[in-house]
Amino acid sequence: MSKFIINGGKKLEGEVKVEGSKNAVLPILAASLINGGESIIHNIPRLKDVSILTNVLENIGCKVLFNGNTMVVNSKGELNTNIPERPVKEMRSSIILMGAVLGRFKHVRISYPGGCEIGPRPIDLHLKGLRKLGVNIIESHGYIVCQYDKLIGKEIHLDYPSVGATENIMLAAVSAEGTTIIQNAAREPEIIDLQNFLNKTGAKITGAGSSTIKILGTNRFHNAEHTVIPDRIVAGTYLTAAAITGGKLVLQDIIVEHLKPLISKLIESGCKIEKYDKTIIIKSPKRLNAVEMIRTLPYPGFPTDMQAQFMSLMSIAKGTSVFVETVFENRYKHAEELVKMGAKIKLDGRTAVVRGIRKLTGAQLTAKDLRGGAALVLAALAAEGVSYIDNNDNHIERGYEDFDIKLKGLGADIIKVIV
Ligand code: UD1
């Protein structure tokens, strides 16, 4: 376990390069199983979640070379279609291996991922979609066993635009006979990146980024090379870090389009934003105005993965903000920690009312999930005095590469200690 010690009150200033997207790289790594050959993937962030998935790939028989931020995955030959249980329990998104392994080998056995810190997280939509393609699924004793004789393209209407379900269905459907159409698909940028990677391996997918994705099945795949998109949530977290400390930051290697839902809220609260091709500059005033309403929604709505960080920001803004978390059931665990710092937050189910105060004060805190942990770091950067953040299960490191080092480079007084 690690702990962050932060002496707050320093304005962040300088330039930061945003790493590759965690949520794009995980399905792309799963997709690298499909071509039965070599995939060269650049801009991979060095994160705990990436090493968990890489270990699974090696464990089932892939050869993996990871050098700097480039990974070469060789998925040639027979692989083990029984996915080891531990990584799936440790990292829920390992379920993304299901569609890829199944599409290539007609069989997969994977343990049920179960709930996590932010809610129950069912996978019924993943399974419903795969069943529609002709997969026979047996769920027993905590395992899911999937197999089929023939995978046949079908029209699948998702009841909710789930990111994981859209990805798992795409990963299986690329190998199906005929055409699959996913209606009400998730529209997140990470889905477009998965489409782009899969198409480089020989798949025939169109429509990602819209709510209708069309996949023409094939059995001809080949080697591919790809560069992962920048992480919009990491970028959003640094923008919010600048905003909360009254600082000025230049973010490099970003895609402005992906940040629009967040940028509009930052402008509403009083930040000045300059947008260039792959660069964005944020200047924050001394004190921000509260944003009346923050409702999390699937992309292109305000991202649930930025709700916690934005709550830290609003806790010292001028006025009252109302948050409505529509995506996950249990995603306000950071609120009780912010209250320890003096924040005035009232929770009622999926709604949080935040009355902005002038200053937060340093406290002894615990990161209970990844983004909630990042939110506490931001709050501590702005607070008066010293905060100690227990990074339980290394939550924060699951999603931010060298977070403490990069923040220190921008002027933060932060140290990480291993306990
Ligand atoms: C992905 C992201 C996560 C982000 C989330 C929403 C990755 C690795 N993780 O998670 O960071 O917060 O999208 O943007 O990309 N649901 C069901 N049944 C299902 C699937 C989902 O009811 O079969 C529900 C979930 O419980 C949740 C909502 O749908 O309430 C959204 O989940 P989903 O879009 O699937 O998120 P993930 O893919 O798990």
Give the tens place of pLDDT for each residue, 237-279.
999 999 999 999 999 999 999 999 999 999 999 999 999 989 9
Burial class (CB in 10 A: 0-12, 13-18, 19+), 419: exposed
What percent of the chain has a predicted confidence (pLDDT) above 90?
90
Burial 337-376 (b: 16+ CB within 10 A, else e): bbebbbbebeeeebebebebeeebebbebbbbbbbbbbbb
How many Å separate Cα 96 from the centre of its chain? 13
Assess whether the C-beta atom of 307 lies below 6 angstroms from ligand 1. no
What's the predicted TM-score (pTM) here? 0.97
Q: Residue range 178-202: average pLDDT?
A: 98
User: What is the Å distance from ligand 1's center to 298 Cα?
Assistant: 9
> Which ligand 1 atom minimizes the distance to the CA of 328?
30
Q: How far apart are CA 381 and CA 364, in angstroms?
A: 14
CA separation, residue 177 to residues 91, 154, 307 (Å): 31, 9, 41
pLDDT at 6: 98
> Which ligand 1 atom minimizes the distance to the CA of 167?
38
Strand order in the sheet with 2-7: 364-366, 386-391, 2-7, 413-418
User: What is the Å distance from ligand 1's center to 37 Cα?
Assistant: 30
pLDDT at 120: 64
Assess whether the C-beta atom of 168 lies below 6 angstroms from ligand 1. no
Assess whether the C-beta atom of 274 lies below 6 angstroms from ligand 1. no
- pLDDT tier at 118 (50, 70, 90 boundaries)? low
pLDDT at 72: 98
Q: Which amino acid is at 17?
A: K
Show the domains of the chain with their CATH numbers.
2-19+231-418 (3.65.10.10), 22-227 (3.65.10.10)
User: What is the Å distance from ligand 1's center to 121 Cα?
Assistant: 7
| DSSP-assigned beta bridge partners for residue 204 | 216
DSSP string, 167-188: HHHHHHHTTSBSEEEEES----
Q: Residue range 79-90: average pLDDT?
A: 90
Question: Active site includes 146?
Answer: no
